[in-house]
């Protein structure tokens, strides 16, 4: 395999004490007490060389064969870095609470009954951190990566190298837009036409995802014109007044 290949990958992530911290396997997540109902447990799709995975992990995957089970251990310096005390900061409770509510709403939830508590993850500005302590009006947040300072072991298997324009485009959509990505209709030829599902039309994240998808298609699939198509079906014609009255009479007779 080489940079630019689009692959489907299953993996487990362990710390150096053999603790499972991340997996694409739902059963393993439940068995090890790390299951998150908001996470999707399935093989991931990624593009080698795109920077979505750690560099040394990507380099190791390039030497793997499809179906081969492999392991690699990475030192903190090559994984998620060493812990930096400067990344532990104090924020106001109000700022943290507001950020938690915004994150809930971005995930499509109501944002009600959200409050800061130790252990929760929060995004402030462009950084994610873990809440360490909560006191009156003050919250201590650790912005180090949760796995900073740890040696990481990856156990992985490349399930598939994705080939063909339509399959590659579908994979790129899956990488960049997680909602109903299997409902996009893709047509290829001299140009690429992508019909988007209704859910994307009203999703705030779609405009940015669209540009990322176009860029990835041109870089990893083909330099073609890309057309996004939105279809709004006509409304069903309203029934005539006479038909409505007949239906109402029939319903009344049926219940009498």
Domain spanning 1-83+147-162: CATH 3.10.50.40: yes
Instruction: Tell me which of 227 and 107 has the higher pLDDT.
Output: 227
Mean pLDDT in residue range 114-128: 89
How high is the pLDDT of residue 256?
Answer: 56
Torsion, Cα 20 22 23 29, to 10 degrees, reads 70
How high is the pLDDT of residue 204?
Answer: 86
CATH number belonging to domain 163-234? 3.30.70.2210
The pLDDT tens digits for 189-244 are 999 999 999 999 988 889 999 999 999 999 999 999 999 999 888 776 655 666 66
CATH class as words, domain 85-142: alpha beta
Torsion, Cα 109 112 116 118, to 10 degrees, reads -60
Cα–chain center distance at 158: 19
Q: How far apart are CA 249 and CA 32, in angstroms?
A: 61
The pLDDT tens digits for 156-170 are 999 999 999 999 999
The pLDDT tens digits for 22-33 are 999 999 999 999
Question: At residue 140, does pLDDT exceed 60?
Answer: yes
Q: How far apart are CA 200 and CA 206, in angstroms?
A: 6
Do the domains spanning 1-83+147-162 and 85-142 agree at the CATH topology level? Answer: yes
Degrees, nearest 5: CA angle 218-224-229: 100
The domain segmentation of the chain, as residue ranges, is 1-83+147-162, 85-142, 163-234
- Identify the three-state secondary structure at position 18: coil
């Amino acid at each position: 395999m080489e940079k630019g290949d689009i692959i489907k990958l299953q993996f487990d992530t362990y710390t150096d004490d053999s603790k499972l911290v991340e997996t694409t396997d739902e059963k393993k997540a439940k068995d090890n007490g790390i299951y998150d109902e908001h996470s999707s447990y399935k093989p991931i799709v990624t593009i080698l060389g795109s920077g979505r995975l750690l560099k040394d992990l990507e380099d190791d995957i390039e030497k793997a064969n499809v179906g081969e089970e492999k392991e690699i251990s990475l030192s903190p310096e090559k994984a998620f870095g060493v812990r930096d005390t400067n990344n532990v900061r104090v924020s106001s409770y109000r700022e943290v609470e507001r950020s938690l509510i915004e994150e809930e709403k971005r995930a499509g939830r109501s944002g009600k009954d959200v409050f800061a508590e130790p252990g929760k993850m929060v995004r402030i500005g462009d950084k994610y951190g873990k809440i360490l302590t909560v006191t009156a009006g003050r919250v201590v947040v650790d912005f180090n990566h949760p796995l900073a300072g740890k040696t990481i072991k990856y156990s992985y298997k490349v399930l598939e190298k994705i080939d063909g324009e339509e399959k590659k485009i579908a994979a790129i959509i899956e990488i960049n837009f997680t909602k109903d990505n299997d409902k996009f209709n893709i047509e290829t030829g001299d140009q690429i036409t992508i019909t988007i599902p209704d859910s994307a039309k009203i999703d705030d994240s779609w405009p940015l995802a669209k540009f990322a998808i176009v860029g990835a298609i041109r870089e990893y699939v083909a330099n073609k014109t890309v057309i996004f198509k939105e279809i709004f079906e006509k409304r069903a014609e309203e029934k005539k007044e006479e038909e409505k009255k007949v239906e109402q009479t029939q319903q009344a007779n049926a219940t009498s």
